[in-house]
Amino acid sequence: MSRILAIEAATEACSVALIIGDEVRERFEIAPRRHVALLLPFVETLLAEAGTGLTQLDAIAFGRGPGSFTGLRIAAGMTQGMAFGADLPVIPVSTLAALAQGAVHEQGGTQVLAALDARMQEVYWGAFIADSDGLVQAQGEERVCVPAQVDVPQPGDWIGTGSGWDTYGEVLAARCALAEPAIRYNRQPHAADVARLAAGMFAQGGALPPEQAIPVYLRDNVADKPKPRA
């Protein structure tokens, strides 16, 4: 029975979850620019409710991205600090996979097209299919691109979820041949789904040393680099 703490801060929502066996507890709030203030109290509350401490856990998981650069750095830094302090391994989990896992867990279906609004008229994009254990697996590479150029999936009963669909739903639906009822609007990634995926990864030996708590941004050109002086 694994005991894993999970942190997700890649979007304007922030959340922390604790999974012990099949039981998942979560604290979740949509709170732009308040991640730093909320995450640690969430951790303390969940551990206190479960009557456990960091050193009694098996690992700490985090949403490794893609998503907000600031949010990803906060989640990775907090995970790494706690893992070093408690001598625990870490489990980086794709934020897009967590988004897809949420759609499978809450709304059913097994084939999910996860999209996050990446700003700059682009989306973070990934296709996922749930396995026999109900845990999503990536189909191909995650990428960042303009909505009209997302990878088109093979025919199937796909559903779309995430803020990318909220912003660019018409373009994405046309590109992927999805009807309106197949789109799940107003969905954010949750730490509870990071925890569920992390538990599966932990069982398969997917835990890493704390120094490998590294964000995955997908995009490098977030800000213009200063030009060298002549």
Domains and CATH numbers, the chain: 3-94+189-212 (3.30.420.40), 96-184 (3.30.420.40)
pLDDT reading at 221 higher than 80:
no
d(CA 155, CA 78): 40
Tens-place pLDDT, residues 95-150? 999 999 999 998 888 999 999 999 999 999 999 999 999 999 999 999 999 999 99
* Cα–Cα distance, 124 to 147 (Å, whole number): 9
The per-residue pLDDT for range 8-59, each reduced to its tens digit, is: 999 999 999 999 999 999 999 999 989 999 999 999 999 999 999 999 999 9
* Weakest mean pLDDT among 89-98, 114-123, 197-206, 218-227: 218-227
Write down the pLDDT at residue 219: 82
Range scoring the smallest mean pLDDT among 24-28, 79-83, 146-150, 177-181: 177-181
